[in-house]
């Protein structure tokens, strides 16, 4: 009886490993919910019973079918069926190979001990290995989710799909099948089976590494191109504004000269006429929004300057009044720029979206440096949602903008936790929502 219980628990843990990796690959991160645990337990009990009664080890592939069925609802979120099936194939193959490696390692280590290797140990050792594997999956869950995001963008994914499919077929052939066709292939490949499996595993690992490298490189290239494009727009606008300023200064001096004689002769009628016909219209030549954009020239960090310019222009196009406070030139930051840019982009996007829905439509951005190498970036905006709750804002999937949009501030929090140089303080009043980012020890 005890041996049967141990075997059932072992089957359940193995199934849970498959389920956990699959759900992480399709970015369904709440994989340890009671519902998923229940499904895993019930299915594995039925599967273990079916295999024990029939003797058909091929029935293990029903677990693969279960994974695909569980993942199909992700289609409603835009995930392709091809990727869902591929994730099921990949998780099943990888977990099985890892289980084989962990089992063999545990068995080898156990033989080095003086303990007796009996029937109970033969079951307890694989159970301990399965629990260790599950623990490793839980510890590395964030890495798996990050890997899944890369694989979805990878051009190598069809190759990964094929390798996973072939690998699962070989695993089925190697599992002492009872189907005659599979038994024939097992006899044919008996001597080379493990060689093929290890070869596929190494090839899969190589393809995944290449996917990570080229996907990140492509993302960096596209990010740099976008930054260059925004910087070019900023420089063009800056040059045009400078030209307008030079023209305005020239015209302004001429206006003063024209008023000189009228002032000295106390000709108030001419002064009034010159003011309304010449001076007053120049208000349209150089407006306040252009003055605000000019202040961005005080930011030395090119990427940050480009981002602020793009977001300021985006806000202005939506009729939002943007006020910049950059009293002094700011230095270049040595902090990881991709993380800083991503964080500030999220905060600025949120500020723009919130301010656009209010009557006041105001955003205040302040950038300044304080002693002891402290760099401050403050974003304050008007907002209309009076039901906001600060403790909930940074939770994953929490959003006031609808389903599947509650990731921005969650990622901001993850970035802050990753970089000790960063701190974020969020405050809110009845009218304004404020995000205060501080960068310390930033100097290059």
In whole angstroms, what is the distance from residue 146 CA to residue 271 CA?
A: 69
104-114 b/e (C-beta count within 10 Å ≥ 16 → b): eebeeeeeeee
Residue-level pLDDT at 348: 93
Please report which residue ranges of 140-192 form alpha helices under DSSP H.
141-153, 157-174, 180-189
Range list of H helices, 26-118: 34-54, 62-71, 81-111
DSSP conformation letters of 232-278: HHHHHHHHHHHHHHHHHHHHHHHHHHHHHHHHHTT-HHHHHHHIIII
Q: What is the DSSP letter of 298?
A: G
Residues 18 and 60: beta-carbon distance below 8 Å: no
Q: Phi-psi category of 372—alpha, beta or left, where left has phi over 0 and alpha has psi -120 to 50? A: left
Spatial distance between the Cα atoms of 250 and 97, rounded to a whole number of angstroms: 77
Instruction: Report the C-alpha gap between 393 and 407 in whole angstroms.
Output: 10
Kindly report the length of the chain. Answer: 444
Per-residue pLDDT of the chain (444 residues; tens, 9 = 90+): 666 677 777 777 887 888 888 888 887 765 445 665 666 667 666 766 666 666 666 667 777 787 888 888 888 777 888 988 998 899 889 988 988 888 888 888 877 777 665 656 666 788 888 888 888 888 888 888 878 877 877 788 899 899 999 988 888 887 776 677 666 776 777 677 778 888 888 998 898 888 777 766 666 656 666 666 665 665 666 666 666 666 666 666 777 777 777 788 777 887 777 777 766 666 554 555 666 677 887 888 777 887 888 888 889 888 899 999 988 887 777 677 777 888 898 899 989 998 998 988 999 999 988 877 788 999 999 988 666 666 666 555 445 554 333 446 777 887 888 888 889 998 888 889 999 999 886 555
Closest by CA position to 72, among listed 121, 138, 125, 28: 28
Provide the sign of the torsion angle of the four alpha carbons 415, 416, 421, 427, taken in this order.
positive
SS3 call for 376: strand
Angle, helices 193-264/302-317, rounded to nearest 10 degrees? 70
What distance in Å separates the CA atoms of residue 266 and residue 245, rounded to the nearest whole number?
Answer: 30
Q: What is the model's pLDDT at position 145?
A: 81
8 Å CB contact between 6 and 123? yes
Tokens representing 292?
Answer: 């605000």
C-alpha distances out from residue 385 to 139, 318, 399, 424, Å: 37, 19, 12, 21
DSSP one-letter string for 395-441: STT--SS-TT-TTHHHHHHHHHHH-TTEEEEEEE-SSEEEEEEEEES
The candidate with the shortest Cα–Cα distance to 357, out of 292, 397, 401, is 401
């Amino acid at each position: 009886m005890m041996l049967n219980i141990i075997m059932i628990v072992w089957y359940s843990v193995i199934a849970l490993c498959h389920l956990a990796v699959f759900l992480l690959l399709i970015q369904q991160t709440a994989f340890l919910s009671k519902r998923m645990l229940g499904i895993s337990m019930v299915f594995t009990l039925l599967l273990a019973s079916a295999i024990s009664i029939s003797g058909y080890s091929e029935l293990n592939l029903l677990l693969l079918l279960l994974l695909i069925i569980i993942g199909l609802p992700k289609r409603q979120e835009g995930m392709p069926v091809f990727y869902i099936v591929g994730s099921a194939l990949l998780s099943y193959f990888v977990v099985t190979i890892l289980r084989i490696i962990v089992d063999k390692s545990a068995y080898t280590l156990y033989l080095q001990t003086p303990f007796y290797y009996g029937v109970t140990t033969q079951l307890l050792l694989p159970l301990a290995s399965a629990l260790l594997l599950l623990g490793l999956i839980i510890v590395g869950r964030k890495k798996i989710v990050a890997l899944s995001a890369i694989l979805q963008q990878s051009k190598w994914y069809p190759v990964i799909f094929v390798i996973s499919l072939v690998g699962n077929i070989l695993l089925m052939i190697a599992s002492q099948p009872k189907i005659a066709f599979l038994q024939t292939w097992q006899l044919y490949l008996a001597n080379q089976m493990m060689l093929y499996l290890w070869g596929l595993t190494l090839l899969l690992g190589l393809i995944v590494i290449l996917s990570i490298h080229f996907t990140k490189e492509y993302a960096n290239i596209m990010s740099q191109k976008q930054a260059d494009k925004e910087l070019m727009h900023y420089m063009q606008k800056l040059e045009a504004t400078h030209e307008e300023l030079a023209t305005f200064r020239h015209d302004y001096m001429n206006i003063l000269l024209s008023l000189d004689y009228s002032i000295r002769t106390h000709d108030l009628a001419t002064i009034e006429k010159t003011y309304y016909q010449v001076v007053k219209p120049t208000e349209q030549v150089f407006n306040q929004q252009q003055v605000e954009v000019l202040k961005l020239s005080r930011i030395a960090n090119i990427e940050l300057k480009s981002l602020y310019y793009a977001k300021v222009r985006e806000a202005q196009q939506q009729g939002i009044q943007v006020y910049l406070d950059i009293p002094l030139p700011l230095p270049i930051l040595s902090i990881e720029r991709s993380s800083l840019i991503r964080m500030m982009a999220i905060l600025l996007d949120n500020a723009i979206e919130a301010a656009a829905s209010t009557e006041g439509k105001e955003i205040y951005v302040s950038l300044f440096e304080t002693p002891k190498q402290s760099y401050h970036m403050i974003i304050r905006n008007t907002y209309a949602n009076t039901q906001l709750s600060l403790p909930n804002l940074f939770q994953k999937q929490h959003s006031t903008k609808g389903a599947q949009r509650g990731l921005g501030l969650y990622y901001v929090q993850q970035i802050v936790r990753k970089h000790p140089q960063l701190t974020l303080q969020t405050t809110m009043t009845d009218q304004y929502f404020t995000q205060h980012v501080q960068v310390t020890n930033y100097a290059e």
